[in-house]
Structure 1
Amino acid sequence: MSRSDPVLVAVTGRYHGLGNRMRVVLGARSLAEHEGRSFAYVWPTGRDFGARLDELWAFDAPRWSEARSRALAAVSPYRDGSLVWLDDEALRERVWQIRTPHALTLPQGATDWTAALRELEPVPEIRERIAALAAASDSRPYLGVMIRAHTIAHDATLRESPVEWYLDRIGEIRAARPDLGLYVAADTDAAFERVAERYPDCAGQTGKGPYNSRSALRAAVADLYLLAGSCHLLGPHYSSFPELARHLSDDAIALETSTSAPGTRFEAQGLGSGPAPGDDTAARA
């Protein structure tokens, strides 16, 4: 990237979670390719988010510092993801900075960010973890369960998606399909242990490390691929994380929450069988 090249910079926030960051960065990169611009991104790390993007997936785009982005904002102000600002005047500007936690409204012909997500390759350490988790599971189709129980979670998530809801729904689904395995991705060990106490055959990871630390985020990416290999997904209300897993499956699995439409419920899916651990999703990782 030369100083004269037109460039698009995706700016993620310090407090944005993994789902918010990935849909902005990948959507902005797609827009840059569509518009013939170079691409860079801002990905803050620190106590609130401990891993760089290239510590999770192979990703070689230039990373800008927050300081560089803020300094440039005086002449290249932050834009939103609606792209309503993209007019003839904007097309003549050398630098676009898009700062948003939401998916971009991409023009027709641009690659959808979810397709770009499926093309990414996790870093070797995470690929090895995915393979080990898949190998440790049996070959049954399984129910994927993602629990957000950490106190840092949004109030609406904690209120609408208590652990008790998951315990009850797992019981109802297994009453109809006792042959299903169970993979649980929880953001606290305590939540995982509550499920394991009721359903001792469940698989999953514990000891991930402090919330949003590098070790916890690497474990979370492995969880994403195991959840994507499930035949049905139970997830928390108001969280983008399980949406990432669904998109990794190419939307082949339904995501059910405590507040989602009746059509997302397991009973509405025809009681079909999804891929088993180690099938296409894990193999692609």
Structure 2
Amino acid sequence: MTQLNVWCLSGLGNRMRSLLGAKDLSDRHGWEFSYTWDDRSAGLSAELDELWQNEFERTSRATATLWSLPSRAFLSGDQRTWPAGAEGRRRINLKTGDYIVDRDGERLDWGNQLRALRPAASVAQRIEQVGGELGQGEFVGVMIRAHEASHPKTKEFSPVSWYETRMQELLEQRPDLRFYISCDVPEVADALVARFPMAVTQRDKGGYNTTTGTQAAVADIYLLAASGGILRPYWSSFTTMSSELADQALILEDSQSEVALSEHTLVPRAVDPLRPWERPTAR
């Protein structure tokens, strides 16, 4: 039987879409599935099972390196076509932080795989705690990249002032609206909560890319997904995971978007933030 191993690289969002795209591909073909979680890539220290419950087989970096020598079957970020000669191999190694495609070049359904996972217990506890603080009212997710490691385009086109303006405009349309703020700089999140008392954020999120920090980021993904719409940073893939968790029900607005959040485009929030793909069909 063919074994497919995916070597997950880069940040959390990139890793999860390659991991789960490869899992979907394995399921389609009845292949054995394993993954390599590269702790040298992007400085991400958290292990997969510290973030999501899973029974996936893990392959060490050393073993995956040995496997790559005879198989020579890779997908990489700049090669989104199925590698020549992959069919019939005993092992296929996919080393990528990008989308996984099938033999026809179509992206695989990693969102369905993501919705099938359940957060690790410590992550679920965070989600439930903040979900309780938000109550049952409608809210908008606000995802801000303010860390110095953010992409230059994100820094240029997604200043904190843009979020402040859009939050105020939305409040003028719906004074009862609440906000969930996800930010990688706690001081920025605290300043926004002070300005907008109807806003909620996570506390004790840990350092950037630490295990605690990454667990908090996974909680962010679910809480943003449970909202009625998301204000997001330009040139960041993080909220793509929230969109997939919400089964693509949300409008994601950034400073360069053609579509904008409004009282007319917000959708009903999810009742259970642990299951953000389930929500009422009417207000």
> Is the shorter-chain TM-score for this pair beyond 0.5, marking a shared fold?
yes
Post-superposition offset of 1:68: 1.6
- Deviates most, 33-42 or 270-279: 270-279
Paired residues of 1:130 and 1:282 also in contact (CA < 8 A) = no
Aligned to 1:233: 230
Paired residues of 2:81 and 2:103 also in contact (CA < 8 A) = no
Deviations 1:129-176 (A, max 9, x none): 211111122221001101111111111111111111111111111111
Aligned to 1:128: 125
Written as runs of structure 1 = structure 2, the 5 A alignment for 1:1-285 is 5-13=1-9, 16-45=10-39, 48-80=43-75, 84-86=81-83, 89-106=85-102, 112-260=109-257, 262-263=258-259, 265-267=260-262, 270-275=264-269, 278=272, 281=275
Post-superposition offset of 1:66: 1.6
Structure 2 distance, partners of 1:282, 1:258, is 25
Post-superposition offset of 1:201: 2.2
Paired residues of 1:146 and 1:186 also in contact (CA < 8 A) = yes
Paired residues of 1:8 and 1:97 also in contact (CA < 8 A) = yes
Post-superposition offset of 1:195: 1.1
Deviations 1:59-103 (A, max 9, x none): 11111122221222221225116663455x321211111112211
Deviations 1:185-233 (A, max 9, x none): 1111022022112212210113211101110111111111111111110
Any idea what SS the aligned residue of 2:118 has?
coil
Query: TM-score of the superposition, structure 1-length normalised?
Result: 0.89
Query: TM-score of the superposition, structure 2-length normalised?
Result: 0.89
Paired residues of 1:27 and 1:113 also in contact (CA < 8 A) = yes
Deviations 1:229-280 (A, max 9, x none): 11110011111111111111111111001112x22x113x724442155367
Any idea what SS the aligned residue of 2:141 has?
strand
Paired residues of 1:208 and 1:215 also in contact (CA < 8 A) = yes
User: Given residue 28 of structure 2, which amino acid in structure 1 is its aligned partner?
Assistant: H
**Cα RMSD between the aligned structures?**
2.3
Structure 2 distance, partners of 1:161, 1:281, is 29
Gaps of 5+ in 1: none
Any idea what SS the aligned residue of 1:178 has?
coil
Structure 2 distance, partners of 1:165, 1:199, is 14
User: Given residue 110 of structure 2, which amino acid in structure 1 is its aligned partner?
Assistant: W
Paired residues of 1:150 and 1:187 also in contact (CA < 8 A) = yes
Any idea what SS the aligned residue of 2:209 has?
coil
Paired residues of 1:43 and 1:52 also in contact (CA < 8 A) = yes
User: Given residue 42 of structure 1, which amino acid in structure 2 is its aligned partner?
Assistant: T
Structure 2 distance, partners of 1:210, 1:135, is 24
CA spacing shift, 1:279–1:193, aligned 2, 3 Å: closer
User: Given residue 23 of structure 1, which amino acid in structure 2 is its aligned partner?
Assistant: R
Structure 2 distance, partners of 1:113, 1:231, is 22
User: Given residue 34 of structure 2, which amino acid in structure 1 is its aligned partner?
Assistant: A
Post-superposition offset of 1:35: 2.1
Post-superposition offset of 1:178: 1.3
Structure 2 distance, partners of 1:131, 1:282, is 12
Paired residues of 1:182 and 1:201 also in contact (CA < 8 A) = yes
Structure 2 distance, partners of 1:183, 1:83, is 35
